[in-house]
Amino acid sequence: MRLFKGWKLTLMASMALAGSSGQGMAQKPGSWGTNKSSASGGQVAMPVSYVVQDAPVTGLPLGGIPAEAYSAGGLPTGTLPASMNPAMEGMPMVGADPMMGGPGMGAPMMGGPGMGGPMDPAMMGGPGMMGGPGMMGGPGMMGGPGMMGPGMMDPGMMGPGMPPPPCPECGGPCPGCGGAHVDRFGRSPFGLFGNCRGILAGLPALFIPYGEGGIASQRWFDASLEGIGLQRTSGGSGYAVSSLGANSGNYVLTTDSVAPDGMQAGLAAQINVQVGPGSNLEFGYFGILDPSDAYAEARSDTANLYSFISNFGTLPAGGFDDSDRSYVHTLDYRSELHNGEISIRRRWAEPAGYFQGSFLTGIRYLDLDEGSRFTATGENNNGAGNNGLRFFDYNVATRNALVGWQVGGDLWYNFLPGIKLGVELKTGIYNNRSEQETSIYANSLPAFGIPEIRERVLDNRTAYITQLSPQMVYRLNQSFALRSSYQVLWIDNVALAGDNFNGAPPSLFLPGSARVPFINNSSDVVYQGFTLGGEFMW
């Protein structure tokens, strides 16, 4: 009996599989293809009832057998309907007649009232069983679209209808990547230049980029410290201060001769304080700690040097005793820059994490101080007072204090895990409280050795600052990263010392002179240079 009972259950399972031709496979929630519509080529999860020995599982009956066909004992009774499989229509179902030898088993199934009759083509050879379309050979089972054919391991299952298995190397979907392991944007897990990873892997362990955070690691640091080198690449009008010969046009000294175009060393520092999700408060400073101090001189053995203060020996004719007909003229230039900022920054990242950026706004203060000094040394003064070499000393100094509001942002590309490339742009409108001060010493002035002439002019003017800085960060470990950048700083509407020389002689030199103190604060200046330092995170 136990053997017969097992045979009945095996037969029922075969019949059920035959009736489920074309139906979708049951899938557990979250598996590939779940909740995908058939229109998109995916498999549709269908509720299926499995008949156990005593009671059917609720839901759609297995193989389309109506619920009313079940007997009280939980087994289907009656004959198979055409809806299950046309090849088995009218076939008695298990439980309709006695177990062995009756019409419910032997005759229609195995060939006779017992077990020894010939095999019915409706079972093993017909369309309803192993050889037909309803079972292993047909479209509903191993060879058809519903099972191992197009509906399973073929394109119906593993093709466009369902996602491919995850890539064993990058862990993500790689449709048609051919081993390149790219994401939906066509990028490898190591950025657009993944081949660089192999080159960097050959570095000593200390210098291999720290990539534990992956390609989408957040752009963040608590503090940074950098050394900077800035060079003033433009600014100034090339004002002439000395000529060889009266009214000759042969200018031997100009402010361009001493323009601060050399590299000036400085320091940059920044501290970040997180104030919310993706938001932080920044305190930043950079400045030149080694002010430019350029120097130039011109000499004439025949005392044939003339200055700007007499319009090069023309006003008055032959110039002044102190500033003209000189043996030596000198000119120097000094420039110093300091910058401070307090900004609020809001960070963002694109979904894949390759690109990240931020927006910022805040207050900026910039101080630009400059000074230039012209001196002349001539023949002996043979007068009773102040006997000695005649001299002339002219100092001009300017100061710019810019305060205003700036906006900006940055954009970063995660080149490789541990290496980021970015660019930052900041710009703003400022009020420039500019000041110009001039003092003159001369041998012929009544108060010898004391600046007899002092001039001071103040003015407020709208100014502009724009700063562009490509940057790179190379992280060495969780707490420290190398940082470098190229800085371009443009400042407009400022007073430069070289543009504030006043060539009109003072009245003590030339009575009735129309000399009027002024300030020229409409100049612009550009600084460029590099920074190198580190970022710290704790």
Helix-, strand-, coil-residue percentages of the chain, each rounded to 5: 10, 40, 45
Average pLDDT over residues 46-69: 46
**Close Cβ partners of 146 (under 8 Å, ≥ 6 residues apart):** 20, 21, 22, 23, 24, 25, 139, 140, 152
Most confident of 48-57, 115-124, 510-519: 510-519
Residue 340's φ and ψ, nearest 5 degrees, are: -135, 145
For residue 298, the number of C-alpha atoms closer than 13 Å in the C-beta half-sphere is 27
**CA quadruple 199, 200, 203, 205: dihedral, nearest 10:** -140
Q: How far apart are CA 146 and CA 44, in angstroms?
A: 11
pTM of the shown model: 0.64
Compute the average pLDDT of residues 298-307: 94
| Least confidently predicted of 203-207, 264-268, 364-368 | 203-207
Question: Per residue in 113-171, pLDDT tens?
Answer: 444 444 554 444 444 444 444 444 444 444 444 444 444 444 444 555 566 556 554 55
User: Is 38 in a helix, a strand, or coil?
Assistant: helix
Q: Which amino acid is at 149?
A: G
**Hey, what long-range contacts does 97-101 have (CB within 8 A, 24 or more apart)?**
99/1, 99/4, 99/8, 100/4
CA 450, CA 453: separation in Å to the nearest integer?
9
CA dist 335 and 397 (Å) reads 10
| DSSP H or E stretch at residue 345 | strand 326-349
Which tokens in the block code for residue 189? 């897990």
- What's the mean per-residue pLDDT of the chain? 75
Please give the DSSP secondary-structure letter assigned to residue 36.
-
Task: For residue range 355-411, list pLDDT tens digits in order.
Answer: 999 999 999 999 999 999 999 999 876 554 556 788 999 999 999 999 999 999 999
Check residue 29 and give its pLDDT.
32
Sign of CA dihedral 455, 458, 461, 467: positive
Count other C-beta atoms under 10 Å from residue 21's C-beta. Answer: 23
Domain boundaries, the chain: 47-117, 223-536
pLDDT computed for residue 494 by the predictor: 97
Q: Residue 522 corresponds to which tokens in the numbers above?
A: 């409409």
Q: Please, which residues bridge with residue 395 across strands?
A: 373, 439
Q: How far apart are CA 167 and CA 230, in angstroms?
A: 49
Contact by Cβ (8 Å): 402, 460: no
Strand-pairing partners, residue 531, are: 228, 485
Q: Which of 44-58, 233-247, 425-439 has the lowest mean pLDDT?
A: 44-58
As given in the structure block, the two tokens for residue 436 are 């110009």
Look up the CATH number of domain 223-536: 2.40.128.100
20 close to 12: Cβ distance less than 8 angstroms: no
Residue 490: the pLDDT is: 97
Res 354: pLDDT: 87
Residue 47 has pLDDT above 90, yes or no: no
Q: Quick check: 270 and 223 in contact, CB under 8 A? A: yes
Whose CA is closest to 219, among 512, 415, 3, 462?
A: 415
Q: What is the pLDDT of residues 81-125, one digit of tens each?
A: 555 555 555 555 544 444 444 444 444 444 444 444 445 544 444
pLDDT-above-90 percentage for the chain: 44
CB atoms within 10 A of CB 155: 14
pLDDT, one tens digit per residue, over 208-219 is 888 887 888 889
pLDDT exceeds 90 at position 291: no
The pair of structure tokens assigned to 120 is 């019915």
The 10s digit of each residue's pLDDT in 454-509 is 899 999 999 999 999 999 999 999 899 999 999 999 999 999 999 999 999 988 88
> Which SS3 state, helix, strand or coil, does residue 62 take?
helix
